[in-house]
């Protein structure tokens, strides 16, 4: 009887052990397959600003011009990624396309300050190293995103501003232009119209504090440009470039050059670029907040972006949007305005372009 019991126990042990080994091998195979599936994955997403962008206010020719430039920009970055290039390079070169176009509030198409100048801001961040570079208030650098990259790669600093940033640009042999290069008639007329409306200041009360705000701000379009990318090595990067806000005074700086507010990238979570009313994106540390919700609350990119852009930022009074891509290639293009210029491409080369609230 004892022999039978021992044989039964041994058989049961061997069966359980074999089953456990099979389950372990199955789990290992599944994890291996997942890893193999993610190898070589890549993608890119861009924005050209968010705000009151309505179909009825857009001519067919202008709409087609925006779509063509968005496609040119996103395809530029996608080609770099498809050929094995880095996310950082894809972000920089993609933003260059939009900086060189008068359609967007960045580089060539930058808006004017109250003094009638163009003051440019930009930032870039590497999700692998968490290294970053940013510049603000530059007036003679053709492509501010390139200067931000130089700050990241060839200085011990993160942010440079004004004349010092321009001196560094010259030392790094970046393309310097006369400030007249940034002049565009439609942007200058926007400044004139806004100055005319300045007499219509609206007094607002925030928690007992009185502030005067141009009523035009909430209804204006924000043309900041940005890009987020995932390369074949699994590295993320993000960048943002802008001319800031029309009629800005006193050397005002928005969220675009501030790491964590307008730009953030971390291989653990996602790469994010923001556009909108910068003061609120700074106060909400929007780009980093999305990453933090993913890292600490284990939210998906879609969940985190929706929570920040549709709930948290509007509760402060902010409007705008973000584009982002996570370490698995998932993309978000979340905004709480009437429209946002945007485009994305995945590993398969599928292209999606949008302007209004609905594609």
Active site residues: 224
Asked whether residue 223 is marked as a ligand-binding residue, the answer is no
Q: Is 146 exposed, middle or buried (0-12, 13-18, 19+ CB in 10 A)?
A: buried
Q: How far is CA 280 from CA 3, 56, 98, 225, 357, in A?
A: 78, 28, 24, 18, 21
Spatial contact of 230 and 87, defined as CB atoms under 8 Å apart: yes
List, as one string, the DSSP characters of 297-323: S---HHHHHHIIIIIIHHHHT--EEEE
Asked whether residue 44 is marked as a ligand-binding residue, the answer is no
Show the beta-strand stretches assigned E in the chain. 43-51, 120-126, 132-138, 159-161, 202-206, 209-213, 225-230, 236-242, 263-265, 270-276, 320-326, 331-335, 339-346, 351-356
Residues 6+ apart with CB under 8 A from 321: 47, 50, 274, 275, 276, 309, 333, 334, 335, 336, 337, 340
Cα(63)–Cα(60) distance, rounded to whole angstroms? 5
Spatial contact of 203 and 196, defined as CB atoms under 8 Å apart: no
Spatial contact of 321 and 313, defined as CB atoms under 8 Å apart: no
**Which residue reads 């069966």 in tokens?**
15
Side-chain-side CA neighbours of 314 within 13 Å: the count stands at 11
Residue 123, φ and ψ in degrees, nearest 5: -155, 155
Asked whether residue 170 is marked as a ligand-binding residue, the answer is no
Asked whether residue 252 is marked as a ligand-binding residue, the answer is yes
Asked whether residue 277 is marked as a ligand-binding residue, the answer is yes
Binding-site annotation: residue ranges for substrate: 252-255, 275-278
Binding-site annotation: residue ranges: 252-255, 275-278
């Amino acid at each position: 009887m004892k022999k039978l019991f021992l044989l039964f126990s041994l058989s049961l042990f061997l069966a359980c052990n074999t089953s456990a080994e099979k389950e372990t091998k199955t789990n290992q195979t599944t994890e291996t397959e997942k890893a193999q599936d993610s190898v070589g994955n890549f993608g890119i997403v861009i924005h050209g600003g968010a705000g009151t962008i309505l179909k009825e206010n857009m001519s067919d020719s202008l709409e087609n011009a925006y779509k063509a430039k968005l496609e040119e920009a996103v395809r530029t970055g996608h080609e770099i990624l498809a050929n094995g290039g880095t996310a950082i390079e894809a972000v920089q070169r993609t933003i260059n396309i939009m900086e060189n176009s008068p359609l967007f509030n960045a580089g060539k198409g930058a808006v004017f300050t109250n003094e009638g100048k163009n003051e440019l801001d930009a930032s870039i961040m590497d999700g692998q190293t968490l290294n970053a570079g940013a510049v603000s208030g530059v007036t003679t650098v053709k492509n501010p995103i390139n200067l931000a990259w130089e700050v990241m790669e060839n200085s011990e600093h993160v942010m440079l501003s004004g004349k010092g940033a321009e001196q560094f640009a010259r030392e790094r042999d970046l393309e310097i232009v006369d400030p007249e290069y940034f002049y565009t008639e439609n942007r200058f007329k926007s400044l004139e119209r806004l100055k005319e409306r300045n007499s219509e200041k609206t007094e607002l009360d925030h928690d007992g504090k009185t502030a005067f705000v141009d009523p035009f701000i909430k209804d204006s379009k924000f043309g900041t440009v940005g890009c987020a990318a995932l390369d074949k090595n699994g590295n993320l990067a993000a960048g943002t470039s802008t001319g800031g806000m029309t009629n800005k005074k006193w050397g005002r700086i928005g969220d675009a050059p501030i790491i964590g507010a307008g730009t953030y990238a971390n291989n653990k979570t996602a790469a994010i670029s923001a556009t909108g009313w910068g003061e609120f994106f700074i106060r909400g540390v929007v780009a980093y907040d999305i990453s933090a919700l993913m890292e600490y609350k284990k939210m998906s990119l879609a969940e985190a972006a929706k929570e920040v852009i549709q709930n948290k930022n509007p509760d402060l009074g902010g409007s705008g949007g973000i584009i982002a891509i996570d370490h698995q290639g998932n993309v978000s293009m979340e905004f709480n305005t009437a429209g946002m210029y945007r485009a994305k491409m995945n590993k398969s080369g599928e292209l999606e372009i949008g302007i209004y609230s609905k594609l």
